[in-house]
Structure 1
């Protein structure tokens, strides 16, 4: 169930409406400024439907999801999927191609192998950190028919959209706000955020970029945004430990093993949260040198935090270049 509240704002005929609820194994949140007579129950229901639809379409933890059905299907068999899933699969393929396979939505078996997916089997042994089997780009083994909302695998593969689906869910929350004609809002799922407009005072939305700490939560920096999406990928929230070594949940498709390159986190600003989410993951995998080169070439607004001993070194591109 979602929670709804209204908070009156002084010197304004607008009110702050807030919403939250459970989705995708975490929580979503939304707030907006709108007249006091806004039908917030209707808006709350719309937000809830939007995120639950994405979860039902793209979760690899739900036995009945569109993604799970596609994963279970035989090779060369067309499977009906939602228009949303088709859109996300196409974008995942495009970003995979742009990043030279640093972003790959076909790592479900590898994620399971390391104990981070629904079919997780735990640590396969630290020797595997040195490298496994490189994974083929998803564009080579998946065909998506957007017009007919269907897809088929051209080779055995298990899809995992954890690096892009949450961002798309945030975009869907924003779509609901826009459909209701609301011009000032901030929505998010587990730290992936998208903002529109400004507050009634004219100030932008203030968002914290988290310091990549394993045991506590604190801000590394606070930025003010409007009309933009932001996503962060990191090694500090989802990980496991084996024989004293931390294993990241982010997988390197080119090595077939968990990521180990010193990058603690990557934050990306983009027009859509789907893109910000996927590019943040890709830059994590590309690493410091190639990640920064790609971000500059793509003109991405990106902040990379690199571990150096017990400290952090920040590298920024775009609007973060002077941060």
Structure 2
């Protein structure tokens, strides 16, 4: 999960807070906090008069807790962790929501020919980016090859009814960090929609879903962060009234070892971190879950293959790469 995209209009709130601002036309409510190992911010404009803001905050908190309990690899009792700990190679019953997320993940895996792969967990853990914290070090060739034997999305089967999953190898380890925050964003957006709230911005660690207008009655303004650690400035800004946005990059979660930098996005084919130093990929889509997964997959594919993919499977994508000549921008023809 990659906290890269920073909305230009969002102020992060460290704890669970509610604040209101009023202009001549619109009423804005903003709150945020921590979830899924990162921060979240939610802005709601023109809250229906029959809704109590505190009740809404409580429902959102409950929904985020449920998502964590579903998808987290950091919670030993989450549904995903229990599946990973289960050594059975028979059908393992799971919930319908978990099947929903994994079906979308497998769809993106097929589209990107494995560049996005939720079975990459063994490699993520080996490189020290999983829940088991250990001192950064470069794995040996044999360690990487052994972990790669557990990585292949085609070795994971899905059953819809009754919902269940089946892994071909007992020690296969699923990591949903490349799609989980997007799913969480979508769940909150759907909750807001069910309350007849149609002007909102939902952000979880940089993955966003937007609808309608902001507190000034204008489109939401979104800034894509400059792809270099320690530089909190916008590299690109766009305005949105609907849809989802997600960014993946190599400069928020990494470790330095012997004068080299290793990011958290692992290439399932090579078993090594994807080496595009100071780069990011932003994807626009209809759902944050899809945008989240595609951003990771296209980051692994790289600029050339990623842009070719975006033209074949119509995708709004923007690549940012820090080069010696400055910031390089390349976008698909569908990017606004």
TM-score by length of 2: 0.89
Report the secondary structure of 1:217's partner residue.
coil
Question: 1:131-146, aligned counterparts within 5 Å?
Answer: 132=145, 134=148, 138-146=152-160
Q: Which residue of 2 aligns with 1:30?
A: 42
Distance 1:191 1:235 in 2: 14
Q: Structure 1 135/187 Cα, relative in aligned 2: closer, same or farther at 3 Å?
A: farther
Distance 1:135 1:223 in 2: 42
Of 31-40 and 208-217, the range deviating more from structure 2: 31-40
Distance 1:118 1:137 in 2: 18
| CA-CA distance at 1:151 after TM superposition | 1.5
Distance 1:320 1:135 in 2: 37
| CA-CA distance at 1:87 after TM superposition | 0.4
Q: Which residue of 2 aligns with 1:221?
A: 236
1:192 aligned residue (207, 225, 230): 207
Distance 2:230 2:18 in 1: 31
Distance 1:152 1:122 in 2: 33
Structure 1 segments unaligned to the other structure (5+ residues): none
Could you tell me whether the CA contact under 8 Å between 2:282 and 2:319 is conserved in 1?
Answer: yes
Q: How many residues align?
A: 318
Distance 1:313 1:162 in 2: 27
Report the secondary structure of 2:172's partner residue.
coil
Q: Which residue of 1 aligns with 2:322?
A: 307
TM-score by length of 1: 0.92
Question: 1:85-100, aligned counterparts within 5 Å?
Answer: 85-100=98-113
Distance 1:136 1:97 in 2: 17
Could you tell me whether the CA contact under 8 Å between 1:24 and 1:59 is conserved in 2?
Answer: yes
Q: Structure 1 138/42 Cα, relative in aligned 2: closer, same or farther at 3 Å?
A: farther
Distance 1:138 1:271 in 2: 27
The CA RMSD over aligned residues, in Å, is 2.1
Could you tell me whether the CA contact under 8 Å between 1:19 and 1:30 is conserved in 2?
Answer: yes
Report the secondary structure of 1:252's partner residue.
coil
Q: Which residue of 1 aligns with 2:288?
A: 273
Distance 1:126 1:68 in 2: 24
Q: Structure 1 151/220 Cα, relative in aligned 2: closer, same or farther at 3 Å?
A: same
Q: List, as ranges, runs of 4+ consecutive aligned residues in structure 1 with deviation greater than 6 Å.
A: none
Of 205-214 and 28-37, the range deviating more from structure 2: 28-37
Q: Deviations over 1:153-174 (max 9, x none)?
A: 1213100011000011010110
2:165 aligned residue (133, 151, 163): 151
Could you tell me whether the CA contact under 8 Å between 1:263 and 1:287 is conserved in 2?
Answer: no
Distance 1:224 1:319 in 2: 15
Q: Deviations over 1:1-30 (max 9, x none)?
A: 6222222222x2x41111212110111111
More strand by share: 1
| CA-CA distance at 1:104 after TM superposition | 0.4
